[in-house]
């Protein structure tokens, strides 16, 4: 892994009138690594991608490629001069050009033989060499995506930006296309930023994960660490369901309805305990409660119960309880996190 960031974003801010779409965002993109930018609709993630691409200016902060300033207040290097490839959500293929001509569109400055060789390699890398003479409308959604990716990678950019690349695909196609995309991107060794609102997608694809909400980066780092140790309730909920229970911190320990939990570094006072549903299970010991709901979810059943004034969900294999059953709940508090919000 390269230790030097290919793209660095520091304090990037973008406003539209009185609305701040991105506020003080920091981000590093590194060669050979896939960074997934995850957030709900309206969180600012697509705006941040557009800032990096040079499609919009920053109102404050900087975006750099090495020592070169790409964006700063009052200064924006145009997209075509950034050596950054962008794969649009709708792929934006030219309908009047064949697959081969779509991929070679940005190489018209090269001699014909060089252009032909580069295009053939790019299509071979995405396993579409046999569709070179096809028209875009004859391709599946996954094939169109791979053509768009080949058209970007054939220019050998140091950074590739993908905005919701799977949004137009049927669910059964996503897994197959995702694996092909990962293989191609890893082979290219570019720095990759993939914007998505799908938590599962982000966790499965990311080398580095960045969470956005309300225009701000709220957590970044290793995907497993972000999932297991969320920095806030908002960060936890971006990555899946989480139970939030009241806590009271004193001298580095949080008193919670499930028992005491270490809370190093947190100030004394009110806090929140976060614990995933799969880390709470019915057992012979634990807090007694009455099951309120049971819903079958395939790989697990979601059991709803109440602890005092708080409702909790458990994800357990099979159907082990029915509404009205009295059960005991035990929690793996080593998997719990205490946050200040």
Helix or strand or coil: residue 266? coil
Q: Which residues of the chain are in CATH 2.40.50.140 domains?
A: 242-339
pLDDT tens by residue, 41-67: 999 999 999 999 999 999 999 999 999
Q: What is the pLDDT of residue 2?
A: 42
97-116 pLDDT, tens digit each: 999 999 999 898 899 999 99
Average pLDDT on 181-200 reads 88
Residue 285 CA from chain centroid, whole number: 38
Reported pTM: 0.89
What per-residue confidence (pLDDT) applies to 3?
53
In percent, the amount of the chain with pLDDT more than 70 equals: 97
Query: Range(s) for CATH 3.40.50.300 in the chain?
Result: 5-228
Architecture of domain 242-339: Beta Barrel (2.40)
283 pLDDT exceeds 90?
Answer: no
- Please check the confidence at residue 181 and state whether its pLDDT lies above 80: no
pLDDT of residue 272: 98
Average pLDDT over residues 131-160: 91
Question: Could you give the strand order of the β-sheet that contains 337-339, starting from the edge strand earlier in sequence?
Answer: 259-262, 253-256, 243-250, 269-275, 337-339
Average predicted confidence (pLDDT) for the chain: 92
Distance CA 145, CA 126 (A): 10
Q: Domain spanning 5-228 has what CATH number?
A: 3.40.50.300
Q: Is the predicted pLDDT of residue 129 greater than 60, yes or no?
A: yes
Q: How far apart are the first and last CA of the chain?
A: 35
**pLDDT for the residue 168:** 66
């Amino acid at each position: 892994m390269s230790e030097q960031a290919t793209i660095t974003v520091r304090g990037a801010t973008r406003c539209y009138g009185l609305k701040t779409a991105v506020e003080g965002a920091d981000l590093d993109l590194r060669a050979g690594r896939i960074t997934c930018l995850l957030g709900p609709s309206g969180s600012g993630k697509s705006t941040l991608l557009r800032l990096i691409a040079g499609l919009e200016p920053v109102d404050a902060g900087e975006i750099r490629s090495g020592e070169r300033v790409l964006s700063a207040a009052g200064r924006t290097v145009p997209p075509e001069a950034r050596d950054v490839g962008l794969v649009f959500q709708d792929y934006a293929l030219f309908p009047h050009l064949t697959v081969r001509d779509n991929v070679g569109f940005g190489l018209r400055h090269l001699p014909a033989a060089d252009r032909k060789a580069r295009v053939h390699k790019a299509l071979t890398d995405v396993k579409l060499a046999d569709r070179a003479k096809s028209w875009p409308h004859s391709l599946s959604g996954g094939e169109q995506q791979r053509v768009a990716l080949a058209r970007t990678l054939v220019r050998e950019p140091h950074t590739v930006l993908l905005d919701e690349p799977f949004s137009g695909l049927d669910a059964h196609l996503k897994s197959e296309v995702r694996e092909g995309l990962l293989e191609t991107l890893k082979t290219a060794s570019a720095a990759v930023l993939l914007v998505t609102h799908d938590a599962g997608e982000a966790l499965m694809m990311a080398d580095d994960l960045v969470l956005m909400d309300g225009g701000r980066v709220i957590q970044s780092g290793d995907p497993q660490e972000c999932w297991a140790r969320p920095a806030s309730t908002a960060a936890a909920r971006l990555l899946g369901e989480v139970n939030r229970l009241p806590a009271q911190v004193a001298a580095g320990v949080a008193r919670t309805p499930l028992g005491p939990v270490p809370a190093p570094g947190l100030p004394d006072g009110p806090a929140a305990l976060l614990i995933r549903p799969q880390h709470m299970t019915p057992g012979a010991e634990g807090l007694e409660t009455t099951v309120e709901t049971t819903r079958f979810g395939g790989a697990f059943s979601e059991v709803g119960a109440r602890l005092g004034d708080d409702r909790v969900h458990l994800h357990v294999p099979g159907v082990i309880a029915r509404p009205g059953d009295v059960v005991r709940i035990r929690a793996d508090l080593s998997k719990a996190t205490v946050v200040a919000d």
